[in-house]
Structure 1
Amino acid sequence: MSVLELVRRLPEPAVVRRVSRALAVLDVVLNDDERTRYFEFDARWSATEEAALMRDGSGNEYSVVFSPDGVFGYGFDHESPVSPYANGMRSWPGLLDGVPEVFQEQRDDKAFSDDGVPRATVCFWRTTEDDAWRCGPVENVGADGADKLFELIADGRPEAYLTFAEEYYEVALDLEAIRHVYALMPLTEYVVTSLNRHRRLTDLTDDIAEIGYPRS
């Protein structure tokens, strides 16, 4: 799946935001070490923006910024031939073409660039006026990493996270508890301990506030 396929598979922006928030909460429950968490969600990215972030610890990452103008996303597969590091620190042809003016700030955000070049092999967006996700006219794009980077968001099902997390964390998990979080229902002690018997709801107060997850 390249970015050309990804923009056809992504669900509506509200679903992308909901799933992204849920992924961050699930990682907070399962992993008490914030340095090694896979998914994050910052509800205070700026005064008007929220951001979903992924870092896999091996050099692959993504950022999806939600603003009043819509949604802008970057993905970076460090082994992809589309990487700027494999192309003389130049973005892949067509990758950034057509980015709407309202997303210029997100496109050029220094947090997602090196030496002024976006750290990206995948780029997509959707303004509030769009009726579909969009990307640039990328040329000969194949192994851009869109599939492995954004599969959980594109899939959108709790079952997909269950499969991922049981392999990543090497533990058996409760699907109903994951469904509870995916629905953004307020966390309970039972849900937390069903996912991780070593965690308590009070352990999560600050993280839940940062993520912007509903409280009871």
Structure 2
Amino acid sequence: MITELRQRLKTLALLDAIIEPEWQYRYFSYNSKWSDSEEMGSLRDGSGGEWFLWISGQLAGYKCLSPEDGLMSNIESVNNKIPSSYDSFVSEPAFSMDKATCVWYLEKSEWVKFGLPIKWLIDLETVLKWYAIDYHVWATGYYEREINISVLEKIFEGSFSSDLAIKLNPDIEMDGLQIELEEIGIYL
């Protein structure tokens, strides 16, 4: 499960980094070097919706804030129910754990879920089911541009090269992308 989570979020962050070089306008991000032992994937929709996926070894925690879906009323009591092995996740200031729509943690390859269902934001379970065509439909609408589906398919299958990046975005500056790739944890 952790390998699948990591790979999918790295792929989405890679695609967004190629299509939209300006970080603040991207939807998906991934930092493979969040700390010495932690990684972090995120989604930000620019309208207040966001989620964070924290990975440390075989642990994974997920926090989602979808204002349109509402807020959990018992976030503090939920945070207290999460095992102490997740203290770094629960106490991370960047994740704003004082308010959430839902909070999940991974236990024996299954999500333990607290909170409300997500309907108005692309959630983690949705992106894990995405194929290249799903990302294509979403990204062409979000970025309002044509995107080469055959390149997306190759990247979703695990292939990546500077040639593919240029086919996806002919204006991409490879030096800038290289810095992004190192943070994501993808190497040419």
The TM tier, using the shorter chain, reads: 0.7 to 0.9
> Structure 1: which 5+ runs fail to align?
1-11
Report the TM-score when normalising by structure 2. Answer: 0.87
C-alpha distance after superposition, 1:25-59 (max 9, x if no partner):
11111112122111110111011011001111100
2:148 aligns to what?
A: 174
| Structure 2 CA distance for aligned equivalents of residues 44 and 173 of structure 1 | 29
| Structure 2 CA distance for aligned equivalents of residues 100 and 176 of structure 1 | 43
Residue 125 of structure 1: which of 105, 113, 133 is its match?
Answer: 105
Which amino acid counterpart does residue 134 of structure 1 have in structure 2?
A: V
Q: 1:182: how far off? A: 2.1
Aligned length: 188
1:160 aligns to what?
A: 134
| Structure 2 CA distance for aligned equivalents of residues 53 and 160 of structure 1 | 18
Alignment of 1:63-212 (within 5 A): 63-81=52-70, 83=71, 87=73, 91=75, 95-96=78-79, 98-113=81-96, 117-127=97-107, 130-136=108-114, 138=115, 141-142=116-117, 144-145=118-119, 148-150=122-124, 152-189=126-163, 191-212=164-185
8 Å Cα contact 2:49/2:121 also seen in 1: no
> Structure 2: which 5+ runs fail to align?
none
Q: Which moved more, 1:98-107 or 1:178-187?
A: 178-187
Q: 1:99: how far off? A: 1.6
Matched, 1:57 2:46: yes
Q: For residue 54 of structure 1, give the secondary structure of its aligned residue in structure 2.
A: strand
Which amino acid counterpart does residue 68 of structure 2 have in structure 1?
A: E
8 Å Cα contact 2:10/2:30 also seen in 1: yes
Q: 1:211: how far off? A: 0.7
Q: 1:214: how far off? A: 2.9
Which amino acid counterpart does residue 91 of structure 1 have in structure 2?
A: I
8 Å Cα contact 1:187/1:201 also seen in 2: no
8 Å Cα contact 2:30/2:40 also seen in 1: yes
Describe the shift of the 1:131–1:42 C-alpha distance in structure 2 as closer, same or farther (beyond 3 A): closer
**Whose relative contact order is higher, 1 or 2, with alpha carbons under 8 Å and at least 6 apart?**
1
Q: 1:150: how far off? A: 3.0
Describe the shift of the 1:202–1:184 C-alpha distance in structure 2 as closer, same or farther (beyond 3 A): farther
Identity of aligned residues (%): 21
CA RMSD of aligned residues (A): 2.3
Matched, 1:20 2:9: yes
Q: 1:200: how far off? A: 4.2
Q: For residue 48 of structure 2, give the secondary structure of its aligned residue in structure 1.
A: coil
Describe the shift of the 1:39–1:147 C-alpha distance in structure 2 as closer, same or farther (beyond 3 A): closer
1:3 aligns to what?
A: none
Alignment of 1:41-56 (within 5 A): 41-56=30-45
